[in-house]
Amino acid sequence: MAHRLQFALTVMFHYLFPILTMGLGFFIALLSTLELVTGESRYGAAAKFWAKIFAINFALGVVTGIPLEFEFGTNWSRFSSYGGSVFGQTLPMEGVYAFFLESGFLGLFLFGEGRVSRVVHWLAGVGVAVGSLLSGYFIIAVNAWMQHPVGYRLASDGTLHLVSFWAVLLNPYAGWQYAHTINGALLAAAYVMGAVGAFYLLCGRHLEFGRQTVKMAIVAGTILSLTQLFPTGDFNGADVVQYQPVKLAAMEGLFKTQQGAPLAIIGMPDTTRARLLDPIFVPDTLSFLAYGNFHATVKGLTDYPRDLWPPVDLTYYAYHIMVGLGTIFIAQMLLGLFLLWRRRLYSARWFLWTLMLALPFPYIANEAGWMVTEVGRQPWLVYGLLKTSAGTSANVAGGEAVFTLIGFCGIYALLSLLFVFLVGRVIHEGPEEAPPAA
């Protein structure tokens, strides 16, 4: 249990940083491109401002990411030894194809101005974005393999052997999962930009930067909040329906198998009595969402053996928090777009307040989404093949894992304080102002 808690803590804390590096990298590359094309220095100043925040995130992403790569071996040694030669295929590729690109070019981007030509500097910005987006794919491929193992055969020594490299790399489960994850990261970055821009507009500083940033955030955020639902969320959900129907039942809090299953908007699962308390249902909708047919039969939890249920409460609430927040994001962004169109966006202080205060919610939604994926996969570590309890390190005592778990709690608490403090300072200092026009 301590192994699971430690991994959950370290991976969830780590993921706070890649959300922004994956999302922000794209926007920095976009701003650098605008600078190169238009020659306007305000885009360059904005790119530089975000690169500062990116750099702090990246550094913390790296230092909190190294533990994860180690933990496969330190805490999950039986899992590594069992499936390493299959799921491990894409693990070093993350380093080889993505991290080298990201770290090498980030150095060039942050330190290289004046040392390299403008085009190379721009290329470095693009390299950072490509690297951070690629890194996501390789690690999602590992996770997708744990959700839906492919390309292996069970060898006589009890470990898995690789049958097809391409099957692992191009796992059908990975495609939409990746799209949904990256889309979520980009949306979070749009929200961070929106919140910072709104903050500047509300306190009357860096007005031009604020307007430019809020506008970019609203336009990108509207598109992204919609694509988060469809197609990425919808198709990712379809993969769950196809490969992990128990997870679907837990996500939706569906206990009894039903024809024309309803969609629970609100309700509290009661696992001992196998029912949903105080629910508000939309009739037949779950059947439609899962199978495209209002009368399709959806299997409920009680039709599966109890020991194959994931923790229902956690899966259910995480899923509902994610979907609920996603819906609110769409509404908020559409409203913002409407105000932008009516040219009232920059003066609608009430809206800017909501945009600024919305900052934590995309993070919560992203983390909740991962909780659905990972908690919902339980009790399996590799779906259908290896139980989580059989993957831990047998030679590491529970007490040792508790000790290191406490250590990680302490260090990460300290890191988060420093992070908030330092990013707060960067935002307080603001972007470099262009010299006033003559």
CA 97 to chain centroid, in Å, comes to: 20
| Residue ranges in 334-393 that form contacts with another protein under rule CB under 8 A | 393
Q: Which is nearer to another protein, 378 or 393 (CB)?
A: 393
Does residue 195 belong to the site contacting another protein (CB under 8 A)?
Answer: no
Cα distances from 152 to residues 31, 88, 169, 243, 246, in angstroms, run: 43, 12, 12, 17, 23
Contact 232, 183 (CB under 8 A): yes
Candidate residues 36, 219, 415, 427; the one interacting with another protein per rule CB under 8 A: 415
Q: Which is nearer to another protein, 69 or 433 (CB)?
A: 69
Rounded least distance, CB 252 to another protein, Å: 35
Q: Which is nearer to another protein, 69 or 303 (CB)?
A: 69
| Residue ranges in 128-157 that form contacts with another protein under rule CB under 8 A | 155
Rounded least distance, CB 405 to another protein, Å: 10
Q: Which is nearer to another protein, 154 or 280 (CB)?
A: 154
Rounded least distance, CB 24 to another protein, Å: 16
Rounded least distance, CB 423 to another protein, Å: 10
**Number of residues binding to another protein, judged by CB under 8 A:** 71
Q: Which is nearer to another protein, 306 or 428 (CB)?
A: 428
| Residue ranges in 416-435 that form contacts with another protein under rule CB under 8 A | 418, 422, 425
Rounded least distance, CB 315 to another protein, Å: 28
Straight-line distance from the first to the last Cα atom of the chain, in angstroms, rounded to the nearest whole number: 66
Q: Which is nearer to another protein, 43 or 79 (CB)?
A: 79
Rounded least distance, CB 200 to another protein, Å: 20
> Which region, left, alpha or beta, applies to residue 248 given φ > 0 means left and ψ of -120 to 50 means alpha?
alpha
Label the pairing between strands 380-382 and 386-387.
antiparallel
Does residue 400 belong to the site contacting another protein (CB under 8 A)?
Answer: yes
Residue type, 118: R
C-alpha atoms less than 13 angstroms from C-alpha of 163 in its C-beta half-sphere: 10
Does residue 175 belong to the site contacting another protein (CB under 8 A)?
Answer: no
| Residue ranges in 63-122 that form contacts with another protein under rule CB under 8 A | 63-67, 69-70, 72-75, 77-78, 80-86, 88-89, 91-97, 99-101, 103-108, 110-116
Rounded least distance, CB 78 to another protein, Å: 7
Candidate residues 5, 9, 12, 62; the one interacting with another protein per rule CB under 8 A: 62
Does residue 311 belong to the site contacting another protein (CB under 8 A)?
Answer: no
